[in-house]
Amino acid sequence: MKKKHFVLIFLFLLFGLIKFTNNVKGDYYIFNYLETDKMVYFKDEKIIIRASWELDYNIANEISYVQIQIFNNFSKMVWNSSKYDGIGCFAKNWTVNVQDLNIASDNYSYILHVKFYYFNFQFETMDTKSSFLDILEIQIIKRELSCSLINFTEQLKYGESLYFKAKFYDKLLGETSYLINQTISFKVSSNNLITYETNLTTNLFGIVEVNISSFPYLCLGPNYLILSLINNTFYNNTNFLYMIAVEKIPIFMRIINFNNTLGKQEDLKIKAFYYYYFNNLLNNLNNYSIQLNIYSNGVLKYQNVYKTSISGILLINISHKSLNVTQNDDKLIINLIFNGTDYLEKNEIVLAVKLNQTLSSETDRSLQLLIFSIVPVLVVLSTLFSLMSYNNKSSKQISLREITFKY
């Protein structure tokens, strides 16, 4: 009887030892390392994950495995590896394409967590053990875009056209990293309003060509050109902003007839041609007012307003009497002013006229008439005096025949 009790006790202890051994064996694992090839990735790159571990458990009584998992900022799993339940020592690599991860594409930067997960389940006790043995934080960023302009000008005359090229490339890789067949949004903004908008496509060299007329798409003053890459998840949403100033159309004047030296009895005559360029075509400044101011020694002598003809010709004819010059006036300063319009620039021309003998009083005129009347009289008197002198000289002469020689 005692022998039987001893056998039962031995079997009970053996069963308990086996069960204890199995339970201990299921908890056996060694975590060696978890690593990624780098900590920051671009959206179009791949994540290389490496890990090593050792696992040992009783397959008959429990389930045990390890797994690599990736979570986003909201603790939502976006990727996981297979479950590795093999017994022994292991070292494995995984390649994860960032594009395949279910993460938002609007933000510039994303934080992901790479975790080494351990799991164990006991059939008999229904106990479950799970934990993250290691956690790595990595960052996913979009690439930075660069844009350079070719033949761009920051100033434009109203009516002119603007033609330039914009080249898009990766900021990190340089200008040889062409963005081929990408959609570029092009907008023009002025006074907080969009005046022009279109989409362009980059060519084999990452270039788009822009050809826009200042009329009617640009406004006078500052205009902002906005270029941005759209429909691309790899590059950051960057707006490239450039300012171009549209100026008024300049007015030109060409003198056709003008004498910069004026005699005392001469009228002032000016003939000039006013014109401007619009869309690279010459246009006459027709039927516009030109203000004329004439100064002498800083004093305004004459003022009037004239108009150009339909062909842009300005004709001015001012009588010398209207100039009202005095003996002290030796020079006239002529100011021709076009005050401009909403689109035409102001134009001001200064001319100088030298006055020769500027006296124009009645005394001077009387003296002139007196000289003109005396000159003929003096000519007649001079002639008579010469004849009388000649006759007197002739009467005093003796002929050779009248001379008698005496010895």
335-380 confidence digits (pLDDT tens): 999 999 999 999 999 999 998 864 444 445 554 555 555 656 565 5
161-217 confidence digits (pLDDT tens): 999 999 999 999 998 899 999 999 999 999 999 999 999 999 999 999 999 999 889
The ranges of the chain annotated as CATH 2.60.40.1930 are: 145-247, 252-355
Label residue 320 by pLDDT band (50, 70, 90): confident
Report the SS3 class of residue 311: coil
Right CATH for 21-141 from 3.30.9.10, 3.40.50.2300, 2.60.40.2550, 1.10.1580.10: 2.60.40.2550
- DSSP string for 240-301: EEEEEEEEPBP-EEEEEEE-SEE-TTPPEEEEEEEEEEETTEEEE-TT-EEEEEEEETTEEE
Nearest to 131 by CA among 121, 117, 144: 117
Q: What is the pLDDT, as a whole number, of residue 19?
A: 46
257-304 confidence digits (pLDDT tens): 999 998 877 899 999 999 999 988 999 999 999 999 999 988 999 999
Label residue 115 by pLDDT band (50, 70, 90): very high
Beta strand ranges found along 123-251 (DSSP E): 128-141, 145-150, 155-157, 161-170, 183-190, 193-201, 207-213, 221-230, 239-247
120-138 confidence digits (pLDDT tens): 999 988 999 999 999 999 9
Whole-angstrom distance, CA of residue 111 vs CA of residue 39: 10
Tell whether pTM > 0.85.
no
The ranges of the chain annotated as CATH 2.60.40.2550 are: 21-141
CATH code for the part of the protein at 145-247: 2.60.40.1930
Nearest to 116 by CA among 43, 26, 54: 54
Q: What is the pLDDT, as a whole number, of residue 344?
A: 96
Nearest to 344 by CA among 293, 388, 390, 283: 283
Do the Cβ atoms of 36 and 114 come closer than 8 Å?
Answer: yes
| Strand 183-190 relative to strand 239-247, pairing | unpaired
34-44 confidence digits (pLDDT tens): 999 999 999 99
- Could you tell me the CATH superfamily of domain 252-355? Macroglobulin (MG2) domain (2.60.40.1930)
228-260 confidence digits (pLDDT tens): 999 998 999 899 999 999 999 999 999 999 999
Helix (H) / strand (E) containing 53: strand 46-56
Cα-to-chain-centroid distance, residue 39: 37
Give me the percent of the chain exceeding a pLDDT of 90.
Answer: 70
Query: DSSP character for 15?
Result: H
